[in-house]
Amino acid sequence: MPDPYILFILAVALIFDFINGFHDAANSIATVVSTRVLSPRLAVLWAAVFNFIAAFGMGTMVASTIGKGIVDPAVVTPDLILCALLGAIVWNLITWYYGLPSSSSHALIGGLAGAGLAKAGLGSLVWWVPGPNWMIWKGILGISIYIVIAPVLGFVLGLGFMVLVSRICWRLRPHTVDTWFRRLQLLSASVYSYSHGANDAQKTMGIILALMVAAGMGQYTHASGIEEFKGRLEGGEKRGVVLVAADGHTYQVLPGVEADALTKGKKGKDVTLPGHLEQVGDGSMALRVHDHLAWWIILMCHAAIAGGTYFGGWRIVKTMGSKITKLAPFGGFCAETGGGVTILAMSHFGIPVSTTHTITGAIVGVGTSRRLSAVRWGVAAQVVWAWVLTIPASAAVAALAYLPFRLLGG
């Protein structure tokens, strides 16, 4: 029977996921609602469906970054996870109440960082983790870089799509363009909603992964056929890293998506690696490391965020859809396409970007393509301030929430 406390924290994680969808519904539907392509109720249903469909298409690399790339897994406890979630939830509700499209993603990152600092100080944080190539970085500093890159890339793509499509359609009658892009905006809204589900639902998956491993239940977080091996990692030779298991046997960790991430900086330390044993060419046994989360986690998280999206966040819809700049179907299509492409690219590399930042950058890019005065820069500045405050504010709430646990020796 699972520990009721762990089940409670799992429920809180799903509540955060629901609020994430509720809070970020505006990102997915603001343009189609403001351009009157869909009614608000049909728009949130459309977005929720594609939020859920994303469960079957994008993998779990972002979940791995959240679960292992913010706070050192060695210091993560269920109490820390609970406080991180509380920090993110409180900040999300505050910004929702005031209609500010802040980032649920960065609220969660701030919550993890704040709880980690309160528990074990600066040494508990993962600052910098090299990615698959020189352009990709993870850890807190790496993610911070993409706080800037994601909205800038959204801006550039939103502006670029506007210029490109304008040149293609400049000879067509305005009524024809409007008619076609009302239809095409259904496609762009589905792309954006899919990308939103693909990136944001994985953040809660990463939290659940960290929770289950911290609770000693890591074997339930991976695809079927997984066993847990407790051992010590040593420098690898040609095929990877050597795992000296608790039973005294020595295994090779085969190269894989997660092998590098799990073993970086762990040489000589006790670790738990999820995987299964298989025989390799020379007859020896090797540990195949898995990165695919169990389907029960994936489906629950996507269902929660889709449910939150369906119930919507109408206060933020107004800010995103009309206060920043006035959008026509033509511009809505370009903003959603630019934002969706950016988020899908980041999700592919396991980078937990802010869908809010990205679509806002794309909307500003679309407005700028007409003229600078088409963007209400005062409103945009308020949104930017909400972004700047998100990580420190959610970190502060999480740190305060953790203080009672620290006083009790947690």
Q: What are the tens digits of pLDDT across the range 3-43? A: 899 999 999 999 999 998 887 766 667 667 777 777 777 88
Stated as kind and residue range, the H or E segment containing 82 is: helix 78-97
Q: Which of 244, 262, 289 is the last residue of a domain?
A: 289
Nearest by Cα to 309 from 10, 45, 32, 63: 45
- pTM given for the model: 0.79
**Residues 322, 189 share a domain:** yes
Q: Which of 271, 289, 307 is the last residue of a domain?
A: 289
Domain boundary among 240, 256, 289: 289
Tell me which DSSP letter residue 235 carries.
-
- Looking at the structure, do residues 201 and 228 belong to the same domain, yes or no? no
Q: Do 10 and 105 have their domain in common?
A: yes
- Let me know whether 211 and 231 are in one domain: no
Q: What CATH number has the domain bearing residue 254?
A: 2.40.50
Banded pLDDT at 104 (limits 50, 70, 90):
confident
User: Out of 148-157, 235-244, 380-389, which region has the weakest mean confidence (pLDDT)?
Assistant: 235-244
Lowest mean pLDDT among 67-71, 149-153, 235-239, 368-372: 235-239
Share of the chain above pLDDT 90, in %: 25
Are 75 and 215 spatial neighbours (Cβ–Cβ below 8 Å)? no
168 phi and psi angles, rounded to 5 deg:
-70, -35
Domain match, 367 and 393 both = yes
pLDDT category at 131 given cuts 50, 70, 90 is low
Domain, as residue range, for 256? 224-289
Whether residue 164 is found in the same domain as residue 305: yes
Are both 198 and 76 inside the same structural domain?
yes
Co-location of 44 and 166 in the same domain:
yes
181 and 50 within one domain: yes
Given a cut of 50, whether residue 202 has pLDDT beyond it is yes
Q: Are strands 137-138 and 129-130 parallel, antiparallel or unpaired?
A: antiparallel
What pLDDT, on the 0 to 100 scale, is given for residue 410?
A: 58
Tell me, what's the pLDDT at 239? 46
Q: Which of 42-51, 216-225, 356-365 has the lowest mean pLDDT?
A: 216-225
Which amino acid is located at 32 in the chain? V
Lowest mean pLDDT of 46-50, 67-71, 102-106, 223-227, name the range: 223-227
- Regarding whether 335 and 203 lie in a shared domain, the answer is yes
Does one domain contain both 137 and 42? yes
How many domains, the chain?
2
Q: How many CB atoms are located within 10 Å of the residue 184 CB? A: 19
Q: Do 16 and 60 have their domain in common? A: yes
pLDDT for residue 90: 93
| 403 vs 96, more confident | 403
pLDDT tens digit sequence for 157-197: 999 999 998 888 888 888 888 888 888 888 888 998 899 88
